Amino acid sequence: MQHYELLLDKFLRHAAKWHPDTEVVTGGDEGSARIGYADLLDRCNRLSGALLALGLRFGDRLGTLAWNSQAHMECWYAALGVGLVCHTLNPRIGAPHLSEMILKANDRVLAVSPGQDELVAALVTNCPCVEHVVVLDEPGVAFSAPPVPDRVRVWRQSDLLQSHGAKTEWGGFAETANAGLCFTSGTTGAPKGVLYTHRSNYLHTANIVQPDILGLSAQDSVLAVVPMFHANAWGLPFAAPAVGAKFVLPGRRTDGARLAELINGEGVTVAAGIPTVWLGLVDHLEKHGGELPSLKRVLLGGSSVPEALMERIEKRLGAVVQPSWGMTELSPLGTVAAVNSPHRSAKNSGRPCAGVDLRLVNETGSALPQQRGVEGRLQVKGASVLERYFDAPETALDAEGWFNTGDLAVIDAHGNLTITGRTKDLIKSGGEWINPGEIEAIIGTVESVGLAAVIARADAKWTERPVLIVEARAGQNIDQPALMGLLESQVPRWWLPDAIIEVEKMPLAATGKIDRMKLRQQFGQQPT
């Protein structure tokens, strides 16, 4: 058989050759920008030449701090075609965390969406490795050059293409070459990088287009609301061109009005995003009216969805909801509820695709003798599953080659996965992780605070939101506005607790540690 390297640029080449006029559309405040796959391939290829002209070489990292747009997609394929690593960064994370990631990755070029001047200036100042900043072209958004040190050159994407864009030979390297880098920020302290290869993402794409997973075709119009900086946008920027589907990107706005406009205007049939996105769309339609006749399926991920919310989404949008489960370490999709499954519900996330295997183990890591209908610690194995974290000296796998997800789960008699809990006290709000320990450490520096704990409280919109529980030191009074102000200066806004609750005495477990179970029982439900 022929030797055929599984390189990601081949998806875009396929779309350009066999679906040349099928469009990639980017939403904007002044109308949508659109381009066919053939013209997109040409722009991506010339951008590869421009990146090489800036001094990037095989294996170097290109950092992207950008929203879902054609320009961001061009950066992906321009990097991938010549063996650069596309390092996606979350613009919602604060400068300290982002700086740590950029320095660890040694990003030499940052490609950024316009309108982030203050954040970009802080990052470039903190990161001497950055030599160039490329401000991307986005529809309806004016160019502005962020104030950066003299050692850094700022480019407008269109100017960079005009001055340095050149036809460039793609490929010619092994499929095991690194392709993408994404850090799992906000989980367990220091950010941990997941380094994808061309082979792993190629196989992931082949997995997710299976009929019972995403089941995409050239007749589909796919809306990616899930951010491209969030675990490869669940693989959609690869899957859509792989099947020749129309690909719709919302830009920086993902409110209900924008999404309704894009779905109807572009005939969207399949859409993907976290539950809160679809709740916003439902709220918009209920308030302003309107229907979405083209929409057939909605893929939910990032966090669990209450049964009532799933029913509400399906009823108002007229689309079938597919709950899913995955992780950045899985590239990211692990399981998806099939459209026609009689067991599809908000209670489970469906079954794994071919190429992903699951098992349950006990606290010592031994496989449970009974794998169905019992709770255990979830492990995963597959060609698109992490082997070790970026720059880590040791493997993340056990002796049998399984990756520990950190989740507790049950697999039912039909093979459907249900995540029942987490082995750590993390809070997942709107698909994003919040680390209680970091908030507690900050509050612990305040003299008037004796004990502090952050727990998750159920929330109808975001699934979970943090609440801060504090016990004052003897003879001290808690200044709640001051506590919130301190947090505002050090953590992302969406990490801020929804409430600060003062207790006379913090409950303690037998070990002397704060009894979080009692706190959850007392304060973990949404107030009526």
Domain map of the chain by residue range? Answer: 1-22+32-209, 427-523
pLDDT digits over 415-440, tens only? 999 987 666 677 889 888 787 877 88
* Catalytic position from the list 5, 100, 131, 184: 184
> What pLDDT, on the 0 to 100 scale, is given for residue 189?
52
> What pLDDT, on the 0 to 100 scale, is given for residue 511?
46
As a residue count, the chain comes to: 528
Phi, psi angle pair for 121, to nearest 5°: -60, -40
**What pTM was estimated for this model as a whole?**
0.84
> What pLDDT, on the 0 to 100 scale, is given for residue 421?
66
pLDDT digits over 372-382, tens only? 999 899 999 99
Please state, as a whole number, how many other Cβ atoms lie within 10 Å of the Cβ of residue 350.
26
With 0-12 / 13-18 / 19 or more C-beta atoms within 10 angstroms meaning exposed / middle / buried, residue 391 is exposed
1-22+32-209 and 427-523, same CATH topology: no
- For 330, the token pair is 């899985």
**CATH architecture of residue range(s) 427-523:** 2-Layer Sandwich (3.30)
pLDDT digits over 159-194, tens only? 999 999 999 999 999 999 999 999 985 433 567 999
Residues 6+ apart with CB under 8 A from 332: 231, 232, 234, 235, 301, 326
474 versus 8: the higher-pLDDT residue is 8
62 versus 96: the higher-pLDDT residue is 62
Residues 407/399, Cβ–Cβ less than 8 Å: no
155 is catalytic: no
User: Smallest Cα–Cα separation from 238: which of 35, 22, 5, 11?
Assistant: 11
* Catalytic position from the list 64, 76, 428, 440: 428
Residues 6+ apart with CB under 8 A from 314: 320, 321
Chain-centroid distance, C-alpha 88: 9
Q: Is 228 helix (H, G, I), strand (E, B) or coil?
A: coil
Residues 463/217, Cβ–Cβ less than 8 Å: no
Phi, psi angle pair for 269, to nearest 5°: -105, -30
Residues 222/242, Cβ–Cβ less than 8 Å: no
Work out the widest C-alpha separation in the chain, in whole angstroms.
Answer: 79
pLDDT digits over 39-77, tens only? 999 999 999 999 999 999 999 999 999 999 999 999 999
Cα separation values, 208 from 190, 214, 322, 351, Å: 30, 6, 13, 12
Average pLDDT over residues 322-348: 93
* Catalytic position from the list 433, 438, 440, 495: 433
Helix axes 436-443, 480-488, angle to 10 degrees: 120
In the predicted model, what is the mean pLDDT of the chain? 92
Phi, psi angle pair for 156, to nearest 5°: -85, 135
> What is the percent of the chain where pLDDT is above 70?
96
> What is the percent of the chain where pLDDT is above 90?
77
- For 377, the token pair is 């610690």
Chain-centroid distance, C-alpha 257: 22
> What pLDDT, on the 0 to 100 scale, is given for residue 423?
66
Helix axes 37-53, 157-164, angle to 10 degrees: 80
Handedness of CA 483, 489, 491, 496 (dihedral sign): positive
With 0-12 / 13-18 / 19 or more C-beta atoms within 10 angstroms meaning exposed / middle / buried, residue 396 is middle
Q: Is 45 helix (H, G, I), strand (E, B) or coil?
A: helix
Average pLDDT over residues 85-99: 92
- For 196, the token pair is 């994808």
Cα separation values, 391 from 18, 190, 281, 386, 388, Å: 39, 13, 40, 13, 8
Handedness of CA 318, 323, 328, 330 (dihedral sign): negative
User: What are the helix and strand counts (H, E) for the chain?
Assistant: 14, 25
Spatial distance between the Cα atoms of 61 and 136, rounded to a whole number of angstroms: 17
462 is catalytic: no
Spatial distance between the Cα atoms of 466 and 446, rounded to a whole number of angstroms: 19
405 is catalytic: no
Highest mean pLDDT among 17-26, 447-456, 518-527: 17-26
Q: Which CATH number fits domain 1-22+32-209: 3.40.605.10, 2.30.110.10, 3.30.1050.10, 3.40.50.12780?
A: 3.40.50.12780
User: What would you report as the CA-atom Rg of the chain, rounded to the nearest whole angstrom?
Assistant: 23
Handedness of CA 5, 11, 17, 18 (dihedral sign): positive
pLDDT at 518 over 50: yes
Residues 50/168, Cβ–Cβ less than 8 Å: no
5 is catalytic: no
Residues 294/267, Cβ–Cβ less than 8 Å: yes
Please state, as a whole number, how many other Cβ atoms lie within 10 Å of the Cβ of residue 267.
14
- Cis status of the peptide bond prior to 323, with omega within 30 of 0: no
pLDDT at 135 over 70: yes
* Catalytic position from the list 329, 432, 464, 471: 329
Q: Is 441 helix (H, G, I), strand (E, B) or coil?
A: helix
pLDDT digits over 15-41, tens only? 999 999 999 999 988 889 999 999 999
Average pLDDT over residues 201-226: 97
User: Smallest Cα–Cα separation from 233: which of 73, 32, 75?
Assistant: 73
Residues 56/282, Cβ–Cβ less than 8 Å: no
> What pLDDT, on the 0 to 100 scale, is given for residue 422?
67
Strand residue runs (E) in 61-137:
61-65, 85-88, 109-112, 132-135
